[in-house]
Chains A and B, each alone.
Chain A
Amino acid sequence: MLPDRPLVRRRTALTGALGGIAATVLAAGCDTGDDLGENDATASPSSSPSAAQEPEQTPDEALVDDVLARLGAAVAVLQAARRFKQVRPKIAPLLHAHRSHAEVLEGELDEAPAPRPADPSAATEAVRSSETQLQASLVDAAGRAESGALAKLLASMSASTTQHLATLPPPPGAGAPA
């Protein structure tokens, strides 16, 4: 089932995107916990009730974490490029798009500082390289998602990145087509 409204929380979002699969996993976890509770008298002290109730990260949740890490790296490159006034107008829409992407995924972006480009041209090329890698990783993630709804969302994000990439200034030496 596809989500028809903005996602509220990551766990909630993925539960919705998984179309009930997450609920099934949680139910299975409860059954296992009941069995262990009755029969395992030598349970480790570290098996606290709260830890036992914490559902393990699903493959799709791990996928989202990976996408968020890659988004964070791309945003860091954009932030570094923003130091050049003439580059800002071209990358502002990209920054907005990626932050919106992270918002829908209900995640925090880890924007560790990226290397400072030497000049505006280098900044633009760093953005182009970073966005090209991000676009490919989004396509890959969309292909691997277990949830169809998550796949659709990630594919849409890849398409957004494709569009933004196409509007970046052409690389040096790329003249008008003959």
Chain B
Amino acid sequence: MHDLELKKLLQETHPVRPGQEERAWAALKELLTPAPRWAWLYYPTWRGAAVALLALCLVAGLGDFIAERSFPISFASANSESPGIYATAFYSNTAHAQVVWLTGLNPSTDQPTYLDNTTVITSPDRL
């Protein structure tokens, strides 16, 4: 059978659908030339976007960490402003916290303070 006849016969029995050749060629091309390992890095892909976002977060976090640590911590100061009250400031290594310790304070109560309205007028006659 001649080639032309064979081609005609094939086109009649197995017609090529639109785009089929391009898809076949693209699939073959992928097999013949596999993408390099780091190809996702150079072309915009979701994977690249996710890695870039993660890298940005890491860089920002690292920058923040370095900025925080670049300043040595100066401890809080505490000065008493009232007789009989003593104020001491120190750093607690176990709590990793600065502490201001006040001694000599009067205990708190549930009684009204000077900020509360304590003068309740019940009758105009009492004026």
Are A and B a genuine interacting pair, yes or no? no
Residues of A within 8 A of B (CB): none
Residues of B within 8 A of A (CB): none
